[in-house]
Structure formats: structure tokens, C-alpha cells
Amino acid sequence: MDLYQIIITHNRPWKAREIICVTLLFAAALFAAGYLIRHQKIKRSQALAGISLLLFLSVVFGSTVFTRMPSKRQFELQPFWSWREVIVNHNRELLKENLLNCILLVPMGILLPILLHRKVTWQQGLLWGLLVSAAIETCQLVFCRGLFEWDDMIHNALGCMAGCLLTNTVSRRKT
């Protein structure tokens, strides 16, 4: 299944109420960013990174939780079960899913050091990715909108960590 098929299979269009909520959230964030820039509490790059991160997380939560069709509550509590399937049963679709889960939070990891205006260690990047991913997985479990699994949390956290390391490396080379 290609990425487009995954998106159209698991996601419905956003409802007007959801669009309004996200729009109001963005309006509040833009107002706050403008206020903080005007009072010299943050730099423009931090405001842009914050707004970008909010947009990104809105799309991620929308596609992984809120626009998915409800089903029965599902969970897989055995860590690394997906890699066993990939290695033992040569499941290429699950390999693709694992790799996409690793990539999912890379943009968040890229934006975090810019937003915080400092280096984010690999441990902090891993922790931030784990926290956001745990929120996604918990929402999926509570709202019956996907499979709760530790593997996704691990993969997402690794992606966020990789994004932080990438930004740190690029920032270090610029200075």
C-alpha cells in the first residue's frame, strides 16, 4: 500500500467543527506569537517554528486519530512484534509501516531546536518524541481509532530524535 492509499483508506475528510477548532487554535497561536515577538520574548524564527510545529502536529493528530474511522479497541502490547513479523515472515508492508513511523516525527525533531532556540540533546529529542507518540497512541486506544502499540511509540521517538540531531548538526556547521 502506497502512502496515498494509506491516507485515503484510514482518513475521512475533516468536518466543519474540526476545521473551526483548528482555525481557532491557529488564530490564538498567531496572536500569542505576535505578542511575544512584539515584546521581544521570542525571535521570529522561534515563532515560525512554533506555528509550523502546531500545523504539523494538527495534521499528525488529525490523520492518526481524529479523522480515522472508529473501530473496535485494538492493542499490541508486545514490544518489537512488528520487527519479528518483518524478519521472520518477510512482511514488506509492515516494514514500510515501521519506516514511515520512524519518519513521521522527524519534522517535529527538526523544529524543536529552532523553537527552543538551543541544542536539543538526543535524549531530549527521544523523550519529546515518546511523549507526543504516547499521546497519539493513547488517543487511538481511548477513541478506538487505530492500533495502540509500543512499536509505533519507539519508531516515532527515534524519528524525533533523528530530526533533533539533524538540526543540531546543521546548526553547528553554520556557526
Q: Which amino acid is at 17?
A: R
Which of these ranges, 4-8, 57-61, 150-154, 160-164, has the smallest mean pLDDT?
4-8
In this predicted structure, the answer to whether residue 26 has a pLDDT above a threshold of 70 is yes
In this predicted structure, the answer to whether residue 32 has a pLDDT above a threshold of 90 is yes
- What percent of the chain shows pLDDT beyond 70? 93
| Residue among 112, 114, 95 nearest 46 (CA) | 114
The pLDDT score that the predictor gives to residue 18 is 85
Domain count for the chain: 1
Provide the pairing of β-strand 147-149 with 74-76.
parallel
Q: Which amino acid is at 74?
A: Q
Query: Alpha-carbon dihedral of residues 40, 42, 47, 49, nearest 10 degrees?
Result: 160
Question: Tell me: the pLDDT tens digits for 140-150?
Answer: 999 999 999 99
Structural domain of 43: 3-174
- What percent of the chain shows pLDDT beyond 90? 79
More confident residue, 74 or 67: 74
User: What whole-number distance in Å separates Cα of residue 100 and Cα of residue 165?
Assistant: 18
In this predicted structure, the answer to whether residue 105 has a pLDDT above a threshold of 70 is yes
Question: Tell me: the pLDDT tens digits for 149-163?
Answer: 999 999 999 999 999
DSSP string of 17-66? HHHHHHHHHHHHHHHHHHHHHHTTSS-HHHHHHHHHHHHHHHHHHIIIII
In this predicted structure, the answer to whether residue 3 has a pLDDT above a threshold of 60 is no
pTM: 0.88
The pLDDT score that the predictor gives to residue 148 is 96
Q: Report the mean per-residue pLDDT for the chain.
A: 92
